[in-house]
Structure 1
Amino acid sequence: MTGSAAFNLSAWSALHLAHVESALERWVRPDAATDAEGGAPVELMAAMRYAVLDGGKRLRPLLVLAASEAASGERPAAANTPEIALRAACAVELIHAYSLVHDDLPCMDNDVLRRGKATVHVKFGEASAMLAGDALQAMAFELLTPDDDAIPARQQAALCRLLARAAGSAGMAGGQAIDLASVGVALTERQLRQMHRLKTGALLQASVMMGAACGDVSAQAEAALMSYGAAIGLAFQVVDDMLDVTADSATLGKTAGKDADQDKPTFVSLLGLERAGVYAQELLAEALAALARSGLHDTQALQGLARRLVNRTC
């Protein structure tokens, strides 16, 4: 299950993050707004870049790359990251960025702080923020369907389907709809888990499965990675709910305490802070157990990312 060489998650992450940032800077490029033909409006591109660049944990791209390496059995240097994995990693991040832009709008969560800076609608206006989110969503699928042979057609279709399902009514958008309808409503633990499996967990799970789709894994490994993705997806939200209570806005980079202020059901309000912490660790154990039965040779990056997301402080 593990590679023979000592694994350093911080060093691994730094290498891959540098490549992801460079790729995002290149693909969401400012000169696209000044192209003679087909260029995007300057204001729109500025809002898109503001939403994507210079901020965020980039957890989802890292999960794509970690799963891709586990599926291929190779751990290349960041400079040699396969094109298919890099495009999949950036596509997931664009979908995540678009979702945050829309979630922060006054008609949704009405937030003014994201990643330690003003939200996109505060900076550029509501209409520009809506369009920037729409354009980021479209760009994600454009990255997965390049004109050249960087991604074989079969894998293009598989990646697009995974991402579309995770972002749509059976995933992130559906979860957000349930969330908006649940303000002031007493949900059961089962209902709360289902909401967050869609709203938060679906895209995290899809990140793992898109990484696996960049390679060729057995049915056993695919099922194990599905379980791993489901566990960390739910664990991420449990910890998010805990941090909303225990951390301040400066630490989080977003407005703290909003769940309680808006009377939203959370794992903390339902289980209590201590039990929520225990539940997060139980989900981490589930994720690591899934990797152990995957049959994959090297899952150290996936293990490390699971521990990082559960034990994070911001």
Structure 2
Amino acid sequence: MIKRTLYFGNPSYLSLRNGQLVLRLPEVSKNDALPDTFKREAERTIPIEDIGVVVLDHSQITVTHGLLEALLENNCAVITCDKNRMPVGLMLPLCGNTTQTERFRHQLTASQPLKKQLWQQTVQQKIANQAAVLESRGIGARNMRAWIGEVRSGDTGNMEARAAAYYWSALFPEFKGFRRDREGNPPNQLLNYGYAIVRAVVARALVVSGLLPTWGIHHHNRYNAYCLADDVMEPYRPYVDKLVCDIVASGADYAVMTTDLKAKLLSLPVVEVDIQGRRSPLMVAVAQTTASLYKCFSGELRKIVYPEM
């Protein structure tokens, strides 16, 4: 079942009733002149079990504790945005799998050689997907295809960085001297927003698979609560890049993050990707990736399942 991504960008009351998320607008709820029947008809309800990601993007949104509890019990990721309306926080359930302790043990005791091999596979697929994005735009990527075979265990030669340097210099020929920088010029803010959505989807899937999003196979920043999510999302980043390229090519004004732009980026969880020879929504593919990662930790598999562009 494909879970829904919900975006709330206006003042709202969000509560729980009969296993449903209830959306009410303050101006309707507080207007005593309106009949109760109109107020009830103005409500919108969504089954909790249908929700995968919730984005809260307004300082005047009120969320009840009962709703938060229900969302987390159903393995939903809740994203909060800052005053600039960019993702700043992520809430995930503490327990998302019935055999979580056993799965934690497999993850925490994974050998260093295994983790290096998993990172090698991750970097190889990331570079392959980046090359596919360039080729889809008519940009040569033979060098990147060659670099895939040069990625060693643990990426000791740092081929990921080498590929990234070429990739970002070539991806946006419309912008002379474009640099990928979180604080950089547009369309960097579109990339930031898209990556935050995918990161939440990956972190949610890791929890559902019974894994610790904090304990990475490569990333290990002590201040990063989602190191493993940042590892696993690497081959998925090019899907964000491609969508942003499409937005830029469409001629849309992307200098400011509008509701329309956010809507396009919030479609990422349902973008169709190729994984294991089949087409699947990105959110479903991520679940296959994290499930395969656990099997690598437990010794059932030797390779992570990633999508191919």
- Scaled by the length of structure 1, what TM-score is found? 0.32
Instruction: Tell which has more relative contact order, 1 or 2 (C-alpha 8 A, sep 6+).
Output: 1
| Structure (1 or 2) with the greater strand fraction | 2
Choose between structure 1 and 2: higher helix proportion. 1
Structure showing greater radius of gyration is 2
